[in-house]
Amino acid sequence: MTIAEFQKLMYDLYYEHDSTRGLGGTFMWFIEEVGELSTALRSGSREEIEGEFADAFAWLTTLANLADIDAEAAVMKKYGVGCPCCNTSPCSCVQKP
């Protein structure tokens, strides 16, 4: 499944509810999922971590739907040619400590 296909799936499943909740309310749900991902990364099983990654990605994609952003196009525009700073892959930027 591509990012675009997943975004369409989230639209088909949830757009009606998400648009009623609005961008602000949906953003708060996204932040809650990021918190759950953080907790899972610290002490969860692999299955819990995978589930929280999926949830965070789903809510991020939902935000893109509400903001009328093509998530796949946005990712490709920024990262499609490599690092957005040095334009190489892998990144050859000097990392700061």
Q: What is the pTM of this model?
A: 0.89
Q: What is the CATH number of domain 3-79?
A: 1.10.287.1080
- DSSP string of 9-66, one letter each residue: HHHHHHHHHHHHHHHHHHHHHHHHHHHHHHHHHHH--HHHHHHHHHHHHHHHHHHHHH
At residue 8, the pLDDT reads 98
Query: Over pLDDT 90: what percentage of the chain?
Result: 96
| Segment 35-50, tens digit of pLDDT | 999 999 999 999 999 9
| For residue 94, pLDDT beyond 90 | no
